[in-house]
Homo-oligomer: A and B are copies of this chain.
């Protein structure tokens, strides 16, 4: 053995140092709505990140190590350049970045922060009111750092908490010399948005984030995304959602220009895409919908845009609308617990000359496993289901970036990690090409007469009806079949659809052999108001089920 050997660790400093060294002048832009544009670059960001290291030291943040959490540093912010700086500085210091989901109910926000035992809070000036509530109840927080886009600021005081201003601290700080950390040091902490029960907490190490970034980066270089060094990235996944799917780290790894749009305002986002030449964004389907339907949208040429969509099934109609505008769409799949990306809808070598509609069909799948990701689809006895595109099973996964456990919840931990596989609770099928199709959440799949009906498959087909704005299919108890499907449909504004039309629409798919006849819902309820959503923009079926049971459905 060689004592002089450098045990190279997969830590986040390797990514930002290299970007600062090789791509110092490449821009990192912050363009918040209504504010002035900050044109930074990797050299300047590296300088600010180093100063932020000294700020953390001054705030008495404590570094951790393998098996020992550093101080939890919570952030309440939109997609800002300061969040980008915290993405690197906090983990590189050895502390844990707790990316708080500001869209949760305040009660749940407080719950997550109590679980995390946050001690320092970085908060956007917009969210001071929320921070006051939080600090009054989460007593572990002793220090609050306010992040403001304004050049001047007044006085702000919090009861029993020290208050600092981010830019003041940075201005007076010296560059910090970050330590050589173990790659197994915990870097980030976050909570699932949990449609059932309380948010569940989990955490990721430097190694996990670096390997996730490398693998996703490699995947998106394949068609249809064809990511390359000329791309300009703008994360449209909130930075409090699972590292914005890794895009801030991935863009830094590529050394490409990045743009942060602040709090989301879709007219503003469209303008920034145009003005800054943004070519790669990510987001849930709702965000794609917002970009396409905003009144200003027709003014802009979106044909250079590549949209990585995930977080909820991509409706076929939305994909078609995006295609009409020339947007390249690739669907990915993952969970908070998988850091998050494990599948991505990339093409294969021999698909080059496939007809466009065949490729388009594939882009509705959840995609192929990324490099270093191993997935299986298993039945209730843990046996692999055939790759026939129809036999459903649960998706289970192994990857270097699957979270180790749920915080303070050994029972849920044991339930999720069984036999060395992480159980996603998602019901899926494989097709013969190896593309995974998510059919349902385990809790949403409708068990009818001993067979399974995919609620999302039915939703997808109903959504192709031209008058349908939103649709949810849920299972309701049935004395004979166990469960039967019911569809809840919201028509497009100013349009009318009837139960009969929806049934006839589905019967056409039955005739084409797309679905069996017994999948057709027993009832179609037409609703005039929007469907209830979770904080991540997914339809909240739990709330829907409660409402329906109140209605006696």
* Interface segment, one of A13-21, A104-112, A299-307: A13-21
Q: Which residues of B contact A214 (CB under 8 A)?
A: 214-215, 218, 371-372
CB distance from A27 to the nearest CB of B (A): 10
* Interface segment, one of A323-331, A398-406, A523-531: A398-406
Q: Cβ of A354 < 8 Å from any Cβ of B?
A: no
Q: State how many copies of this chain the complex holds.
A: 2
Q: Which residues of B contact A404 (CB under 8 A)?
A: 1-2, 5
A18 contacts which of B26, B229, B369, B422 (Cβ < 8 Å)?
A: B369
Q: Which residues of B contact A226 (CB under 8 A)?
A: 228
A421 contacts which of B6, B373, B400, B421 (Cβ < 8 Å)?
A: B6
Query: Chain B: which residue is nearest A19 at the CB level?
Result: B371
Decide if A221 touches B228 in the complex (CB within 8 Å): yes
Taking A4-B420, A8-B400, A25-B350 as contacts, is the C-beta distance between A253 and B14 under 8 angstroms?
Answer: no
A418 contacts which of B4, B349, B350 (Cβ < 8 Å)?
A: B4
Taking A5-B417, A418-B4 as contacts, is the C-beta distance between A374 and B405 under 8 angstroms?
Answer: no
Q: Which residues of B contact A424 (CB under 8 A)?
A: none
A22 contacts which of B256, B369, B400 (Cβ < 8 Å)?
A: B369
Q: Which residues of B contact A349 (CB under 8 A)?
A: 23, 26, 229-230, 255-257
Q: Cβ of A222 < 8 Å from any Cβ of B?
A: yes
Q: Considering the chains assembled together, what is the distance between the CA atoms of A210 and B215 in angstroms?
A: 11
Q: Cβ of A52 < 8 Å from any Cβ of B?
A: no
Taking A8-B400, A418-B4 as contacts, is the C-beta distance between A348 and B218 under 8 angstroms?
Answer: no
Residues of A208-230 at the interface with B, using a CB-CB cut-off of 8 Å, are 210-211, 214-215, 217-218, 221-223, 226, 228-230
CB distance from A216 to the nearest CB of B (A): 11
Residues of A407-429 at the interface with B, using a CB-CB cut-off of 8 Å, are 410, 413-414, 417-422
Decide if A228 touches B218 in the complex (CB within 8 Å): no
CB distance from A513 to the nearest CB of B (A): 26
CB distance from A375 to the nearest CB of B (A): 9
Decide if B6 touches A398 in the complex (CB within 8 Å): yes
Q: Which residues of B contact A422 (CB under 8 A)?
A: 6
Residues of A67-83 at the interface with B, using a CB-CB cut-off of 8 Å, are 67
Q: Considering the chains assembled together, what is the distance between the CA atoms of A414 and B1 in angstroms?
A: 11
A14 contacts which of B218, B372, B418 (Cβ < 8 Å)?
A: B372
Taking A6-B398, A223-B229, A349-B256 as contacts, is the C-beta distance between A22 and B414 under 8 angstroms?
Answer: no
Q: Which residues of B contact A420 (CB under 8 A)?
A: 4, 6
Binding site for B on A (CB under 8 A): 1-2, 4-6, 8, 10, 14-15, 17-18, 21-23, 25-26, 67, 210-211, 214-215, 217-218, 221-223, 226, 228-230, 253, 255-257, 346-350, 352, 368-369, 371-374, 398-400, 402, 404-405, 410, 413-414, 417-422, 434
The 10 closest A-B pairs by CB, nearest first: A4-B417, A221-B221, A2-B405, A6-B420, A8-B400, A229-B349, A22-B434, A6-B398, A2-B413, A214-B214
Knowing that A18-B374, A26-B349 are A-B contacts, what are 17 other residue pairs whose CB atoms are under 8 Å apart, sorted by A's residue number? A2-B413, A4-B414, A5-B404, A6-B398, A8-B398, A8-B399, A18-B373, A21-B434, A22-B368, A22-B369, A22-B434, A23-B349, A214-B371, A214-B372, A229-B346, A229-B347, A255-B349
